A = this chain, B = another copy of it.
């Protein structure tokens, strides 16, 4: 089950950390950038730092730099009551980076444990980015007061999270809410998942295939590199081929939303990630699928779909919320 959890490896020592106020350290370790934040008991972000992750370096060096960044936000003489880490990969909850696609070469690298050790063994809780974003949007963002709240991020990949009954829903092994892996059958019989049909990576790949297979004119033909971002920008400029590709992705996304609505009957589905920022170009075809394929209009509240409200610090905030929630679970009397 949940082996390697820092909480279990290093029992909480009440006496060492209650010197002053209950404060939380949050770390968002992303493939590109790492952020650290120092949060009050009420989860106000008091101090913040950010640096490139430089994950091409050996893990030891990267982890040492994460710890240095985290130290820079902790005031002299203070210690965190708990640490929340946003880590990559569906199985981040183990505290170990297992094999995140964004971190090639990082296999079975413990992350929670050395960070906990650097802060006197403070209880440390790691979760993946989409789960923590769901928690943050539920408490402070677009899904406030909405239960169940489902979060869907459409970016390089597709991830998700959900809050059910006021708590982060993680499933049996912490793997719940992977909407990127909802399967669809293609006309040729292949089974492709939503991430292969509607993520930024998929949009870029489909564009390159379409450009190679057809003569359709497109401003994309003038570009050295055609990726999801380039297709999005071309669609916003009015390029017809790019628009058709984004619309197609939106239709697949919409079928994914139909599935989420029928299974979770959520009060809100929050859409985050760079692809969602394309707005109606991708959301209108998605909404049309919801209108066409939900069996009952009761599933389709006018406010069901919402754009994420929190910005770059969404995962940092989620990590702080997670640290506080898990610490309170561990010490219900306090």
A residues with CB within 8 A of B: 90-91, 146-148, 160, 164-165, 167, 169-179, 181-185, 187, 191, 193, 255, 258-260, 262-267, 289, 292-296, 298-299, 301
Residue from B148, B167, B171, B265 within 8 A of A265 (CB atoms): B171
- The smallest C-beta distance from A328 to any residue of chain B, in angstroms, reads 16
A262 to B187, CA, bound (A): 23
- The smallest C-beta distance from A249 to any residue of chain B, in angstroms, reads 14
Residues of B close to A173: CB separation below 8 A: 265, 298-299
- The smallest C-beta distance from A158 to any residue of chain B, in angstroms, reads 11
Residues of B close to A183: CB separation below 8 A: 255, 258-259, 289, 293
Residues of B close to A301: CB separation below 8 A: 172
Specify the chain B residue showing the minimal Cβ separation from A294: B181
Residue from B167, B175, B298 within 8 A of A296 (CB atoms): B175
Specify the chain B residue showing the minimal Cβ separation from A150: B263
Contact, CB under 8 Å: B170 / A167: no
A193 to B293, CA, bound (A): 9
Contact, CB under 8 Å: B293 / A91: no
Other 18 A-B pairs with CB < 8 A, given A148-B176, A173-B265: A90-B296, A91-B298, A148-B172, A164-B169, A165-B165, A171-B265, A174-B265, A176-B265, A178-B295, A181-B258, A182-B262, A183-B259, A183-B293, A184-B184, A185-B185, A191-B292, A263-B263, A263-B264
Copies of this chain, complex-wide, total 2
Q: List 9 A-B contacts (CB under 8 A).
A: A148-B172, A160-B263, A171-B266, A174-B265, A178-B265, A183-B259, A191-B255, A191-B292, A193-B293
Contact, CB under 8 Å: B298 / A171: no
Specify the chain B residue showing the minimal Cβ separation from A254: B183
Residues of B close to A293: CB separation below 8 A: 181, 183, 191, 193
Contact, CB under 8 Å: B265 / A179: no
Residues of B close to A167: CB separation below 8 A: 165
Given A185-B185, A259-B259: A264 and B295 interface contact (C-beta under 8 Å): no
- The smallest C-beta distance from A286 to any residue of chain B, in angstroms, reads 13
Q: List 10 tightest A-B contacts by C-beta distance, closest first.
A: A171-B265, A175-B265, A176-B265, A172-B267, A181-B262, A187-B187, A178-B262, A181-B295, A183-B255, A182-B259
Residues of B close to A296: CB separation below 8 A: 90-91, 175
A160 to B259, CA, bound (A): 13
- The smallest C-beta distance from A289 to any residue of chain B, in angstroms, reads 8
Contact, CB under 8 Å: A265 / B172: yes
Residues of B close to A90: CB separation below 8 A: 296
Contact, CB under 8 Å: B258 / A260: no
Contact, CB under 8 Å: B172 / A266: yes
A147 to B185, CA, bound (A): 30
Residues of B close to A176: CB separation below 8 A: 148, 263-265
Contact, CB under 8 Å: B185 / A172: no
A260 to B175, CA, bound (A): 12
Residue from B182, B184, B264, B295 within 8 A of A185 (CB atoms): B184
